Structure 1
């Protein structure tokens, strides 16, 4: 899986690094599980549900950041950037912000740990005004899929900001080695921890601390990079291989969980 990637170490530039080789595997998308999730994602294509979940995140960002103005609320700025990347209409974003100022419902965000089929770990991010009810709703579903709540699984993941970006147009004809050299220098300037190149598309993947996520993204944009995708993810340190029957069970479980409005995102350590 790693042959499609070039990994660049930034240690010589005095930036502390951990071993992120597992990230290459994780983001390559060539495993059977990755293909199952990709296919389901294309099949479902529920833009309305996605917008609903993003709208909830806007509400929490305003609650936690204390301001409906993204200029004074970094968390809100981050969510709005996500909204724009999935082509959520500006009018819809503004409508959610206005309605939030009238809605006094208090939402809470939490990561629920689930031990899934075959011993895999699933991290379920939820955003809800009633955590007890949401936990109970999810408990009913996971029990039917040979799964249960667990503790201690979160330490098996790295929490990282992942930013996929393309080089500025004037640099597109540079060789792969040249792209890596440019990206390495830019990663140092942007204070990213690591950068990797997907050879086929020349898309660069920058890794950073979640706290630095918006800052790294902004600096890349200032350097004229085109941001393709940006999100904060839980990346597994080790992955678990599942049987075909367990993969099918996980696929059904993910579909049920994603249909719950309060579920924002799912992460797993399935190979």
Structure 2
């Protein structure tokens, strides 16, 4: 989890009336917007990230029907992300090969949780035994003032978007200038929103339908893509007390460390 409150400059690209204004905000789409992957990972963190990417590849093969990235768009996206995270090619190939021989009937599920202070937590899981996994999760939730959410009402608090983070521009330009340049390129590439993150990294947000197109356009504009993924972004955030925030942080950390939980999202302000 990335807990640091960051200064962000942002423009909403899909609304032409704001092209000449700069919105400064402190939390972006969430106080916990996950940019730790641009900071460099310690060995333990890298091992966990590789485990998560491995499971994401298996999910992509299951959903896309092919272990060949050339014929599976979702798999191609995950493989590219794994390469950016310096996962060895041999490891990637081994994972893809294992999907053809692995007899486990794992399936992908999205689990909703009502967390501390009525926040919403989404868990993207990949397991062969959902009942057993939920039993383990239930113990975690009980210890952290949380419970499984009935139905799928929590999904209304999120939008599924493509998130593309690129390396800082050269030349140590002022953040306002960086935003102006990035805004023009976001419009040109088809992105909906752009933000300047801390240390100059730039985040482009787009609809899932143009995710690959935007990446290709940004690459042609000489941006170096640091990470690219499809994520659930909160459209309505929940403010927590300091106590609930700490409880929620501990819960999310435990959920993220479970090998069958691929990704975790939340709507904490």
Partner Cα distance (2:202, 2:242) in 1: 32
Segments of structure 2 that go 5 or more residues without pairing to the other structure are 18-22
1:17-46 Cα deviation digits (max 9, x unpaired): xxxx79x544488x5x679x99xx978943
Question: Which residue of the partner structure matches residue 82 of structure 1?
Answer: 81
Deviation, structure 1 residue 149:
0.8
Residue aligned with 2:199, SS: coil
Determine if contact 1:168/1:224 at 8 Å carries over to the other structure.
no
Partner Cα distance (2:33, 2:191) in 1: 26
Q: How many aligned positions are there?
A: 256
The correspondence of residues 57-136 of structure 1 with structure 2, limited to 5 A, is 57-136=56-135
Partner Cα distance (1:59, 1:196) in 2: 31
Q: TM-score, normalised by structure 1?
A: 0.81
Larger helix proportion of the pair: 1
Determine if contact 1:112/1:126 at 8 Å carries over to the other structure.
yes
Segments of structure 1 that go 5 or more residues without pairing to the other structure are 14-20
Question: Which residue of the partner structure matches residue 159 of structure 1?
Answer: 160
Question: Which residue of the partner structure matches residue 240 of structure 2?
Answer: 242
Partner Cα distance (2:228, 2:94) in 1: 24
Partner Cα distance (2:256, 2:176) in 1: 40
The correspondence of residues 1-271 of structure 1 with structure 2, limited to 5 A, is 4-12=8-16, 25-27=26-28, 45-150=44-149, 151=151, 152-166=153-167, 169=170, 172=171, 176=175, 178-198=177-197, 201-271=199-269
Residue aligned with 1:239, SS: coil
Q: Cα RMSD between the aligned structures?
A: 3.2
Determine if contact 2:81/2:228 at 8 Å carries over to the other structure.
yes
Q: 1:140 to 1:228 in 2, by over 3 A?
A: same
Deviation, structure 1 residue 96:
0.6
Partner Cα distance (1:3, 1:255) in 2: 24
Partner Cα distance (1:47, 1:197) in 2: 25
Deviation, structure 1 residue 135:
2.1
Deviation, structure 1 residue 233:
1.9
Q: 1:6 to 1:113 in 2, by over 3 A?
A: closer
Partner Cα distance (1:46, 1:203) in 2: 21
